[in-house]
Amino acid sequence: MSLADNHIVSSFDDDLNQLADKLAEMGGLCEKLVGESVDALVRRDIPLARRVIEWDRAIDRLQHEIEERGIMTIARRAPVAIDLRQVVGALRIANDLERIGDLAKNIAKRVVALDGQFQPPKLAGGVAHIADLTLAQLKEVLDAYTRRDDKRALEVWTHDGEIDALYNSLFRELLTYMMEDPRNIGFCAHLLFCAKNIERIGDHATNVAETVYYVVHGVPLTEDRPKADLVSADFD
Amino acid sequence: MDATAVAKSAPANIGARPQPLGEPKIIARDVNVHYGEKHALKNVTLDVPEKAVMAFIGPSGCGKSTFLRCINRMNDTVASAKVSGLIQIDDQNIYDPSLDVVQLRARVGMVFQKPNPFPKSIYENVAYGPRIHGLARNKAELDEIVESSLKKASLWNEVKDRLNDTGTGLSGGQQQRLCIARAIAVSPEIILMDEPCSALDPIATARVEELIEEIRRNYTIVIVTHSMQQAARVSQRVAFFHLGILVETGETEKIFTSPNDKRTQDYITGRFG
Ligand SMILES: Nc1ncnc2c1ncn2[C@@H]1O[C@H](COP(=O)(O)OP(=O)(O)O)[C@@H](O)[C@H]1O
Ligand SMILES: [Mg+2]
């Protein structure tokens, strides 16, 4: 897989590399905010939650910047083949990351709203667990993007089912807490929304995985695609 | 793939494939061309689809024009050129010794890089071919052919009031469309274009491209171009040549989004090969 190098017009390499750098920066920030939003929830850390809400603006700004750079690159360089896929891939991934930032912010806002009505920390344990798994997926897929590693992207894509399954069991768990003691209902309902947000972060990580696959292979990732074909497709 | 993956609903790849192209109009098998010692084309095997535009791309000197000139036997006029292999148009071997080359060239029109109208009137430029091929029985029929050819070449409105002016007095873009009208006038089945827009400004280029788009359903068109964007815009299939070898052919969408061969990718993306 060729990265953005070796163009005869070297400033074209610069354009593509800067786009990738911005995206890496945005990805790192997303990871941080998702992690901190869940920490804030588990540790009842209102100041941390407020910081997450603040920082989401930086993510929006980065997305905007990536979009402008991407559009500028399309207009100026008229990229084709792998270059076109890199640019389109960056735009798509920036979109998913922006949504992830929003979802983290949403969790942080709930933490702020919950101020004063926190319940026993064990209730948040399940949410922390699904968050760990999701964060691992997010890290993995961002790594896969940086390395243009289609196999790791495929791993992420395949494992998304686990997050969905975990969400469903968490849903049932929280229901039992609510039935046990109606005073848990308000808090658990908030937790449920947080868990749902995390589950959706997982979906966006899966979208990123699909984009990485597309950038590498030039064809969409579909479930009926035989695995043997994945390795041999296109050139290395 | 495991159960979780199968349970995931990924969108099916619906509508992503363009319409399949028609039967091949031209087939080439193991075509080799030598100019003296120089081996300019090496074992080229290729199908050109009927009533569609195929673009030939590749670095200068890779043999695009050489291959184009094989299709209407223009290489016959180059003393040092030796052509071997098989080229058929509609199942007819065009290198068959019994074939009439003049007839062949009426079926296979050609438009060159530099517009080359005859130093005669606009009318005569278009009328010349039909006249020598005896396509018109009288002046009225000839007028009719001239008008319809100029219309097909999207030039009629610009020249209808000055058909007797000389063709060389037109702008570069108009001259090129006049050359296309001249090629169309003999009702060819195939039109070969060798970098037809490289001497034209963007507006004149857009006019020629629009014209290609309009006529492509009625003709088999092969266009050599150095503009990747032009190839992407006008063609349905692309053939990439490199050092006398046909490296890759494919649907235009495929070539410009994910070519199979690294040499194709390096060339179209502007990388060092
Ligand atoms: N008439 C000729 N005599 C000798 N060599 C030629 C002649 N025409 C082309 N060639 C050589 O054949 C090769 C292919 O040329 P050409 O078909 O014109 O390439 P392209 O159109 O792809 O630029 C080049 O190396 C060129 O120098
Ligand atoms: Mg040439």
pLDDT value at residue B213: 93
pLDDT digits (tens, 9 = 90+) for B120-139: 999 999 999 999 999 999 99
Residue to probe by mutation, ligand 1, list B66, B112, B267, most atoms within 8 Å of CB: B66
pLDDT value at residue A68: 96
CATH superfamily, domain at A10-217: Phosphate transport system protein phou homolog 2; domain 2 (1.20.58.220)
Residue A79, chain B, CB below 8 Å: the answer is: yes
pLDDT higher than 80, residue B117: yes
**Chain B interface, best mutation among A82, A215, A221, by max B CB count within 10 A:** A82
Rounded Cα distance, A161 and A145, in Å: 20
Q: Percent of chain B beyond pLDDT 70?
A: 93
What residues does ligand 1 touch, defined as CB less than 6 Å away? B 35, 38, 40, 58, 60-66, 78, 80
Let me know how long chain B is: 273
- Contacts of A53 by beta carbon, 8 Å cutoff, 6+ apart: A105, A108, A109, A112
Stronger pLDDT, A66 or B21, i.e. the higher one: A66
* Residue B9: φ, ψ to 5°: -95, 110
Q: Which residues of B touch A10 (CB under 8 A)?
A: none
Is residue B180 assigned to a domain?
no
pLDDT value at residue B80: 95
pLDDT digits (tens, 9 = 90+) for A58-116: 999 999 999 999 999 999 999 999 999 999 999 999 999 999 999 999 999 999 998 77
pTM comes to 0.84
Rounded Cα distance, A212 and A137, in Å: 14
Is residue B195 assigned to a domain?
yes
pLDDT value at residue A60: 97
Is residue B11 assigned to a domain?
no
Structural domain boundaries in chain A: 10-217
E strand or H helix that includes residue A87: helix A81-113
pLDDT higher than 90, residue B181: yes
pLDDT value at residue B234: 96
pLDDT value at residue A4: 60
Nearest residue (by CA) to ligand 1, atom 4, is B35
pLDDT higher than 80, residue B21: no
pLDDT higher than 80, residue A134: yes
Is residue B15 assigned to a domain?
no
Q: Three-state DSSP class for B153?
A: coil
Q: Which residues of B touch A82 (CB under 8 A)?
A: 258, 265, 269
Of ligand 1's listed atoms, the one at least distance from the Cα of B224 is 21
Rounded Cα distance, A227 and B4, in Å: 15
pLDDT value at residue A124: 83
Nearest residue (by CA) to ligand 1, atom 25, is B61
Nearest residue (by CA) to ligand 1, atom 26, is B61
Rounded Cα distance, B19 and A200, in Å: 37
User: How much distance in Å is there from the Cα of B40 to the middle of ligand 1?
Assistant: 6
pLDDT (mean) for B98-103: 93
pLDDT higher than 90, residue B14: no
Is residue B244 assigned to a domain?
yes
Of ligand 1's listed atoms, the one at least distance from the Cα of B78 is 1
pLDDT value at residue A122: 76
pLDDT value at residue A118: 64
pLDDT value at residue B17: 47
Minimum CA–CA partner of A224 in chain B: B6
Mean pLDDT of chain B: 91
Q: Which residues of B touch A220 (CB under 8 A)?
A: 10-11, 13, 16
Q: What is the CATH number of the domain that holds B91?
A: 3.40.50.300
pLDDT digits (tens, 9 = 90+) for A151-169: 999 999 999 999 999 999 9
Instruction: For residue B183, name the pLDDT band (cuts at 50, 70, 90).
Output: very high
**The total number of structural domains that make up chain B:** 1
CB pairs A-B closer than 8 Å = 86
A residues 188-217 closer than 8 Å to B (CB): 206, 210, 217
Instruction: For residue B273, name the pLDDT band (cuts at 50, 70, 90).
Output: confident
Residue A12, chain B, CB below 8 Å: the answer is: yes
pLDDT digits (tens, 9 = 90+) for B49-93: 999 999 999 999 999 999 999 999 999 999 999 999 999 999 999
pLDDT value at residue B4: 38
Minimum CA–CA partner of A5 in chain B: B271
Could you tell me if A233 and A111 are in contact, meaning their C-beta atoms sit under 8 angstroms apart? no
Domain carrying residue B243: 20-119+190-268
